[in-house]
Amino acid sequence: MIKLLLITLVTTFTTTAFAAKFDGCVAQFNSRVQQRISKGVPTKHLPRLYLPAYNPKQTVVIFTHGMFESPYFFKGINKVFQDQGFVSISILLPGHWQGDWSNMKKVSYREWQSEIRENIKLAQCFGKKVIFAGHSLGGLLSMDAALANPGITEGVLLWSPAVDVRASVSIGGFLGGLLHLNGNTFFEGAANLDETPLYSPNAAKQMSALIKNVRETHGNGTMKNVYGKIKAPTFLAYAERDPAVDVDEITRAAYSISGLSKEYTMYFPETTHVWHGNITKNREDVYKKAKWDYNLKWESMQARVESFMRKFY
């Protein structure tokens, strides 16, 4: 099963020297995949490794998904990195899509941070430097990782980073935990291992705890200080329509991140029909129940990302 998955994702290098060099790295990736299989993660949601068709850049992308999602829903953007000559590791955060979902009820944000650290080690098997990329929760974890590892950070790409969540998310998480209810009680039905996650209130609780941790660790208690410390070249995309993340706070980030320029800041107003849930998705990343829900401005965003990635050639 692992070999079948890798065949669909990994392209052979053009020289035997490169192929031999990365056999050990791919084996390490396979080992991590096997660990997830042993925990009940279905093939659909396993971590994914993207290798370019030609000799890769020495900088590796680590892509981190958002809350309740998985690498399956971010194939398009990772293929952009791959086509630009970068190895890209699309990780699966602990608690997500594991067996009966019980781990989501007890997972800690520190486990998410630990997963990033483990994948940094894997990334450095493929190359010397890292570009941290992510959506929502993954965006916040990418910021955290970039600040914790300035010596190896070449760049940062953020899509609707969860720098602060809306009050409804925090209150929902608090009440859900208090009443022992999850979001599935009110919409989408029972969790499964296909496309309906367990909307555990613990996830919202851990998100809030992570935001606080990032503020205290990197910003002396404020996000503004955090933004000012991100000096690596940065790409930021976010949408006016965002039921999860505080858009005003992302806007403050847009004006405060040291490594961010207007050229690589993309804002999607309500009229574009781009929102938090589809901002990183092209046609192949959509949910089966919402095949129409992808970023209609994908091509323009892809062009901007490609331009940004050329900074690291």
Residue ranges in the chain whose pLDDT is less than 70: 1-20, 167-184, 186
Q: How far is CA 258 from CA 215, 233, 252, 262, 269, in A?
A: 16, 8, 12, 11, 24
**Start-to-end C-alpha separation, the chain:** 34
pLDDT confidence of residue 307 = 98
Structural domains of the chain, with CATH:
2-164+214-312 (3.40.50.1820)
- The mean predicted confidence, pLDDT, of the chain is 90
- Residue 219, exposed/middle/buried by CB under 10 A (0-12, 13-18, 19+)? middle
Amino acid at 276: H
Comparing C-alpha atoms, which of 186, 215, 183 is closest to residue 202? 183
pLDDT confidence of residue 247 = 96
pLDDT confidence of residue 16 = 43
pLDDT confidence of residue 4 = 43
| 3 state DSSP class of 135 | strand
* Cα distance between residue 21 and residue 125, in whole Å: 9
For 225-263, how does the pLDDT look when each residue is reduced to its tens digit (9 = 90+)?
999 999 999 999 999 999 999 999 999 999 999 999 999
* Cα distance between residue 98 and residue 121, in whole Å: 23
pLDDT confidence of residue 17 = 53
CB contact at 8 A, 257 and 230 = yes
Tokens 């998904």 correspond to 65
Tokens of 304: 């901007």
Q: What is the CB neighbour count within 10 angstroms for residue 129?
A: 18
Q: How far is CA 248 from the centre of its chain?
A: 21
In sequence order, which residues have a C-beta less than 8 Å from that of residue 171 and are 6 or more positions away? none
Tokens 């323009």 correspond to 300
pLDDT confidence of residue 118 = 98
pLDDT confidence of residue 9 = 46
pLDDT confidence of residue 7 = 41
* Cα distance between residue 15 and residue 290, in whole Å: 42
pLDDT confidence of residue 173 = 53
pLDDT confidence of residue 177 = 53
CB contact at 8 A, 301 and 264 = no
